Structure 1
């Protein structure tokens, strides 16, 4: 069996490792534009901030390792065309410009994503950088060392992590985003406000609700111009978001409107023997029950693993995702799963929420911390569809628990009565997860009481 793999970051790496175990006689050809595999881009901010000193630690597989296991690694190779019906592809060696044709029995598309790059005037100036791969990370480190004024465009996870890293390196930092809040895709305002306050306390300029119109400078960027102002910039890092890197397959396999490849629960595309995994494709969202584009390393690893298991025949179905993620900014430990209240409403769900802010230990304990926890649930079914947490202490694992609940269609009543242990060092007699679900139950009971009163 000849297997061609296009792209080798998280999904590609997981697919290869599992194919080697499951089908030791398979001939594997890997085509990767970069000279490395398995780069953890989530570590770029840690590298910039000096938390990680050795960038080689941001890899968990190597070209040499795969080659020693018999994998044909075509590094610095760009796939220029692919005919999925004829099972043929063409790849160009970026270094020599040599082009070769290859055939395969099974194709695995793990071509990943690429940063969104709007057509902004001046984007070709020096020191206007992207933030995605290992080469980007090295450039950001190198070019940030001598500069004073850094502008980060995009207030998602990568953007806010870079802001923290640059500020801790003594830079004057401005964060620009077209939304009115940071992290608005992942968290409701109760959970973003503390982070914004921490940024402002440290002198970070939050230019929110603004859209970049152009970059100005002579050769090198000097200013960022928005629809509401202008900001000095010796370095700009673009973190607007990501798009699926699937141009090669348009018109050949079914896709969402944004180019994300649609796969079934066995990672099979609309074409036989063609599979896709990772940031290049959609995944079923258990909160909405619809396919969605959720580019996360965790999703990519799971999907890549499933491709290998289902390569010969469908045996292991994808359980769906909740888009669960976590973040640490300064003293704030944050995590979320499923949908925010605003995202749920945009998805057409009728939802409500419950919120608690409380000490996590009994008040008699000498040391304590405040936990803020929000639960989003469907009003008709009481099915949990999302949750968020923030605290100076680390309660992020609570969100993993709720993630399991969403995957299994858990209701607020079921969570309220779930058996969690009590020990004063760790929690109260009513665990915070039970507590927030009980708040939701009380809210729904009050609604029923009001309806009955109206009927009377």
Structure 2
């Protein structure tokens, strides 16, 4: 079956879409338009490259224009799409090397234009050595400029900012981390966890400047020298902006349905409000399972899944998207941290309860074991899981993948308490950590129910205590 497919943008979602379209429809005429000279760059590896953990940045690419060309795809690298008309099914593009402009037509349009770092409009933003952190070019710039920088300021205490801070500290730099929130990684973790992370960063020599907003930059000889905030000025030789991303969807504004921030709305088969336009990746909103609503959650994991679904659903609905929990993880020095779904803070508008348990990852009769802190967030009525976080010196992050599946399948804490998990002393206890957390959550629900039915037993102003963790043999 011969038809024309135009793909705009080719990083994670675009690469996945193109490969699957080529596999599903060998006779399709696929044309890719990409502004950069490379595809499939894993920007999550920038910090590893900066810190020298990954020596060759080529390892951060998992595909190439040449691979797509071997699949029969026309790869127009260094081409920018200037205009799209979804009703006429036309587009206009410019060759960024020659300046030539030309038009093209399509039968199906795939929009995988991704996202771009938020760049604040403020005094001094154009000074030299103020860097973005998104693509391969940014990675090369950061490494080159960091070589001569003694003092480096990272603005934004999300995962990317935290990873860069660690990389710069490992290189012996004086690092300042600025964020307008009063704790790091606040989007992903509740205060019990961020307090440990804050302390770890300070002990490693990072200057934390939290709870303040950047107002501008000052420099000399065209290079940045100071970061001006609402609470103090910080001397610096280099700044890396990590304050978030916005979807790159200007081409389709007014032509397909979007969230107010510009993220394209798609159905469960990656179709936009126009039947012949599909979209995936950081340019899109996703169905966020903890709330059931559309949300903007730019993650590479979401992107590759959605891109693959574009290929499977290009001509007719075949495989349904299952939504996302926004599951993510980070390694902070010796700590392994992961989260999925809503934090307790983010669920403030919902009727939720939460438990935090501290448990050793293995039986105490084993030669070594590590403390694990695990938090569950769940609905107060019914106990449906909506979020979880874990932090340990041991790698317990796979537990959050399991909890992500639980949230996706709308499981309750009662069900989690009695899921069948194996026991082997090298790895866990007779009551698995997740079973233990489920039991603690059940206890919390029982306490809450009693408090509602027997209000006279409530102590005025009493703070909620963490549910008691079952003992080393799993008995409460």
Match of 1:315 in 2: 318
Which residue does 2:231 correspond to in 1?
Answer: 228
- Note if 1:146 corresponds to 2:169: no
**Unmatched 5+ residue regions in structure 2?**
458-476
Offset at residue 432 of structure 1 (A):
0.8
Q: Distance in 2 between matches of 1:259 and 1:191?
A: 32
* 1:244 paired residue number: 247
Of the candidates 132, 135, 141, which is equivalent to residue 134 of structure 2?
132
Q: In structure 2, what is the Cα distance between the partners aligned to 1:452 and 1:199?
A: 45
Residue in 2 aligned with 1:95?
Answer: 97
**Distance between the aligned counterparts of 1:19 and 1:149, measured in 2?**
47
For 1:24-423, list aligned pairs within 5 A. 24-218=26-220, 219-345=222-348, 348-423=349-424
Deviation at 1:177, TM superposition (A): 0.3
Alignment-derived partner of residue 7 in structure 2 = 5
Unpaired runs of at least 5, structure 1: none
What displacement does 1:429 show?
Answer: 1.1
1:226-246 deviation line (CA, Å, top 9, x unaligned): 010011111100000000000
Q: CA deviation at 1:272?
A: 1.2
Q: Distance in 2 between matches of 1:137 and 1:165?
A: 13
State the secondary structure of the residue aligned to 1:223: strand
The CA RMSD measured in Å over matched residues stands at 1.0
Q: Distance in 2 between matches of 1:315 and 1:451?
A: 47
CA distance in 2, matches of 1:439, 1:24: 54
Q: Which moved more, 1:385-394 or 1:67-76?
A: 67-76
Q: Give 1:451 deviation, angstroms.
A: 2.9
Cα offset, 1:248, TM superposition = 1.1
In 2, the alpha carbon distance for the partners of 1:266 and 1:215 equals: 45
Partners of 2:452 and 2:44 lie apart in 1 by 49
Query: CA separation in 1, counterparts of 2:240 and 2:451?
Result: 52
Q: CA deviation at 1:455?
A: 8.2
Q: Equivalent residues in 2 for 1:421-440 (5 A)?
A: 421-440=422-441
Equivalent position SS for 1:36: coil
SS at match of 1:253: coil
Structure 1 length-normalised TM: 0.98
1:255–1:262 CA contact under 8 A, matched in 2: yes
CA displacement, residues 394-442 of structure 1 (integer Å, 9 cap, x when unaligned): 0000000000000100000000010111111111111110111111100
1:354–1:437 CA contact under 8 A, matched in 2: no
Deviations 1:336-359 (A, max 9, x none): 0001001112xx321110110121
Please tell me whether the aligned partners of residues 39 and 134 of structure 1 are also in contact (alpha carbons under 8 angstroms). yes
Q: Is the 8 A contact 1:324 1:335 kept in 2?
A: yes
SS at match of 1:387: strand
Q: CA deviation at 1:453?
A: 2.7
Cα distance in 2, alignment partners of residues 453 and 313 from structure 1: 56
Q: Residues 82-133 of structure 1, C-alpha deviation per residue, up to 9 Å, x if partnerless?
A: 0011000000011111101000000000000000111021010000010000
Q: Aligned to 1:196, what secondary structure does the other structure show?
A: helix
Q: Secondary structure at the match of 2:453?
A: helix
Q: CA deviation at 1:30?
A: 0.3
TM-score scaled by length of structure 2 = 0.94
User: What is the total number of aligned residue pairs between the two structures?
Assistant: 454
- SS of the equivalent of 2:17 reads helix
3-state SS, counterpart of residue 376 of structure 1? strand
Q: Distance in 2 between matches of 1:450 and 1:315?
A: 48
SS in 1 for 2:103: strand
Larger mean CA deviation between 48-57 and 196-205 belongs to: 196-205
CA gap of 1:238–1:454, structure 2 versus 1, over 3 A, is: closer
